[in-house]
Amino acid sequence: MRIKLETRAEVLKAIRAFFAEREVVEVETPALSEAAATDPALTSLDLNVASLGGRHYLHTSPEAAMKRLLAAGSGDIFQIARVYRDAELGRWHQPEFVLLEWYRTGFDEFDLMDEVFELLRIVLEPRFGTLARLNLSFRQAFDTAFNIDPLALDTAGLERLTQALADRDIDVPSEIHPDALLDLALSSVLMPGWPQQTAVFLTDYPVSQAALAAIKPQDPPVAARFEVFINGLELGNGFRELTDPVEQRRRFEADLFTRRETGMPVVPIDTAFLAALEHGLPDCAGVAIGIDRLIALRMGAESLAEAVNLPHKIGSDPIS
């Protein structure tokens, strides 16, 4: 326990020093909101808050609130936030965990990737020694592993990818959505095959997986999005941010349509965030990194529970 506590303190101190050197301001935003994450992959925790007039949601990320600060003229900011997500408990998941999120005005996603790598080196090289780096586009990664183009998946490509996974004894659900099939291939084949002690930056995601990212108008168009992985573990997700309020509302509404079609709860859209976009979000890039996973890598832990001070466990001793 003492080693765990000291490691966490050292990592948080290093993170704050990193941003202080770059004059990025630390901020705090509310964990409670009248709105919830619309993304069908996320389940917000909700509760009745009588003093606030009823149902509110615990944030799954401070992203929307931080962008409201950016629209109000905050400049470069970072936050170390405790966040909450239901239906997440496993080897590398906890229903509450700590996110490091930061935004840099005037950066694109590649500028931000460079800064992410600098931070990862500071935090992880005391354990790893030299941390290597590998940049891969989404298209390049899937072409190399499966000889398919994930940006133009036709029926034949889907069949080849499904068969390639089945040949590796990976169970593929029937009628799986193409994006879910790509995610399955990414997590079960690509991530485990990447080199160890290497920060792998996967870039240029399909537009269907843009989330809150801007779209790059090339042929075919791709999302200005990246994810970073180390030792087969996803650490962070970053974007050059979408600034168009009309497009953002359209994406929220598309999320809600998917939720209705799949029987998921339909949640309130964050209208305060949309209003901030209408006011004007500066050109910027942002990223969120799981601090608990970062600490687990620093410790050489085999699960998130080993890196969290008092992890949630079903039926566990509350003191453990």
**Other Cβ atoms within 10 Å of 316 Cβ, number:** 11
Q: Give pLDDT, residue 9.
A: 97
Please indicate, yes or no, if residue 253 is contained in any of the structural domains. yes
Q: Reduce the DSSP state of residue 119 to 3 states and report it.
A: helix
Summarize pLDDT for 194-225 with one digit per residue, the tens.
999 999 999 999 999 998 999 999 999 999 99
Residue in this structure with the two tokens 């930061």, named with its chain if needed: 102
Coil, helix or strand for 236? Answer: strand
Assess if residue 124 is contained within a domain: yes
Mean residue pLDDT across the chain: 94
pLDDT given at position 319: 46
Percentage with pLDDT > 90 across the chain: 92
Q: Does a structural domain hold residue 162?
A: no
pTM for the complete prediction? 0.94
Separation between Cα atoms, residue 143 and residue 147, nearest integer Å: 4
The predicted model gives 180-184 an average pLDDT of: 94
pLDDT attached to residue 211: 86
Mean pLDDT of 30-40: 96
Mean pLDDT computed over 292-309: 95
Per-residue pLDDT at 315: 64
Domain count, the chain: 1
Q: Where are the alpha helices (DSSP H) in the chain?
A: 2-21, 63-71, 109-128, 138-146, 155-167, 178-185, 191-193, 245-262, 271-280, 291-299
Tell me: pLDDT of 243 over 90: yes
* CATH assignment of the domain containing 52: 3.30.930.10
Cβ(214)–Cβ(241) below 8 Å:
yes
pLDDT at 88: 87
78: left (phi over 0), alpha (psi -120 to 50) or beta: beta
Buried b (16+ CB within 10 A) or exposed e, 168-180: eeeebeeeeeeee
Residue 37: both structure tokens together: 């994450």
H-helix or E-strand spanning residue 289: strand 284-290
Statement: residue 316 has pLDDT above 70:
no
Region 65-71 average pLDDT: 98
- In the prediction, which pLDDT does 63 show? 97
The answer to whether residue 178 is domain-embedded is no
Report, as an integer, the average pLDDT of 159-182.
92
Q: What is the pLDDT of residues 261-289, one digit of tens each?
A: 999 999 999 999 999 999 999 999 999 99
153 assigned to some structural domain: no
Q: 101-147 pLDDT, tens per residue?
A: 999 999 999 999 999 999 999 999 999 999 999 999 999 999 999 99
**Inside any domain, residue 52:** yes
Print the domain residue range for 216. Answer: 2-131+197-306
Predicted pLDDT of residue 25: 98
